[in-house]
Amino acid sequence: MGFLGAGLIANYHSKSLRGSGTPAIWSAVFDPEPARAARFAEKTGALLARTEDEVIEASDAVYVCTWTSEHPRLVARVATAGKAVFCEKPLAIDLAGARAMTEAVQTAGVVNQVGLVLRHSPAFGMLRALVADTDAHGQPMSVVFRDDQFIPIQGHYGSTWRGDVARAGAGTLLEHSIHDLDLLEYVLGPVVSVAAMTSNRHGIPGIEDGAVLTLRFANGALGTLVSVWHDVLERPSLRRVEVFSERCLITVEGDWFGPVTWQATGRAEQRASEAALEDAARARGAVLGNPDGAFVTAVAAGQPAWPTFADALRAHELADAAYRSAASGGAPVDTAEVNR
């Protein structure tokens, strides 16, 4: 497993990979900041590569963990070399780039996975299973989704590139809430229209720090997504989700181990967290597990990974529709208008 980029997110995936217990070797690492690459190499035993090509040549699979604007170029190089690729989210700074990347990995026929890791979480696996139980809970009616994080140009992220629109593409909606757009369709099904407004309190050109979306789903449900980058450094990145079905309220607090609570008609409120949540989600058929371990397993078996670039492309389509709505003053955009 090779790494292009050796920053915070590369170290996150490296630790996750080690914790997965899957048999993997850290082959090589390259970063434009040599000192950062050297620290990563010392911790992992990876070869300290002099070029990107050295990493690709030394590896069966490559993690692309750079700033977003570099993703299309690097993914194309990895795919052209016939190597499996894991790309951190978002895929690209715009929809055209995300489409090109998806086409590149599909044309090359390589195993590909994107860092929409919350699809593997017990909390959202449980939420999806409870929403899908329409016999017991009725049809979903509405969802309220809040995602907040301190703006990551500061604090332990210290990510100056996220304040540069040329490298990041946009702000909280694309860079952070691409997860949320993916999860909303994963849990509730296709979005048919979206209306959005954005704000910019920090005054960084092109980098919105607030977004509010109103969504209509194909099944008739309505939803809101509030995404905000604030300055409360003492507060970790947090998500809270409430889904009302006809006969059940489901609440998620904490995006991995919950807790998740649900109360159905005629039943006392139920609550699960940590190991109990994972067991309960698996019992309801949720697909869980370490996303990095799943990638290694897919590469070793030559089988499709999950979620793929094609899955991530749909989230980019929704983000593009939201930005177009915001640019028009908040008019709804029919997602069928997205040129897929």
Secondary structure string (H, E, C) spanning 318-335: HHHHHHHHHHCCCCCEEH
Give me the pLDDT at residue 299, please. 97
Confidence grade of residue 337 (pLDDT, cut at 50, 70, 90): low
Give me the pLDDT at residue 136, please. 97
Strand pairing of 28-30 and 84-87?
Answer: unpaired
Give me the pLDDT at residue 336, please. 75
Q: Return the structure tokens found at 24.
A: 């993997």
Is the bond preceding 205 in cis, omega lying within 30 degrees of 0? no
Q: Please, are residues 88 and 101 in contact by the beta-carbon 8 Å criterion?
A: no
Element (H, E) at 166: helix 165-168
> Is-above-0.85 flag for pTM?
yes
pLDDT digits (tens, 9 = 90+) for 210-264: 999 999 999 999 999 999 999 999 999 999 999 999 999 999 999 999 999 999 9
pLDDT digits (tens, 9 = 90+) for 158-213: 999 999 999 999 999 999 999 999 999 999 999 999 999 999 999 999 999 999 99
Q: Return the structure tokens found at 329.
A: 């003053």
Is the bond preceding 32 in cis, omega lying within 30 degrees of 0? no
Give me the pLDDT at residue 141, please. 98
Torsion sign, CA atoms 55, 61, 66, 68: positive
Give me the pLDDT at residue 338, please. 55
Q: Return the structure tokens found at 32.
A: 């434009």
Spatial separation of the C-alpha atoms in residues 130 and 58, rounded to whole Å = 44
Q: What residues contact 57, with CB distance under 8 A and at least 6 apart? A: 81
Give me the pLDDT at residue 257, please. 96
pLDDT digits (tens, 9 = 90+) for 47-103: 999 999 999 999 999 999 999 999 999 999 999 999 999 999 999 999 999 999 999
DSSP at 281: H
Does pLDDT of 276 surpass 90?
Answer: yes
Q: Return the structure tokens found at 27.
A: 């082959």
Q: In the chain, pLDDT over 90 holds for what percent of residues?
A: 98
Q: Return the structure tokens found at 47.
A: 């070869």
Does pLDDT of 339 surpass 60?
Answer: no
Give me the pLDDT at residue 340, please. 43
Q: Give me the torsion for CA of 221, 305, 124, 92, rounded to 10°.
A: -70
Q: 105, 72, 151, 91: which is closest to 320 by C-alpha?
A: 91
Longest dimension (CA), the chain: 64
Is the bond preceding 90 in cis, omega lying within 30 degrees of 0? yes
pLDDT digits (tens, 9 = 90+) for 10-40: 999 999 999 999 989 999 999 999 999 999 9
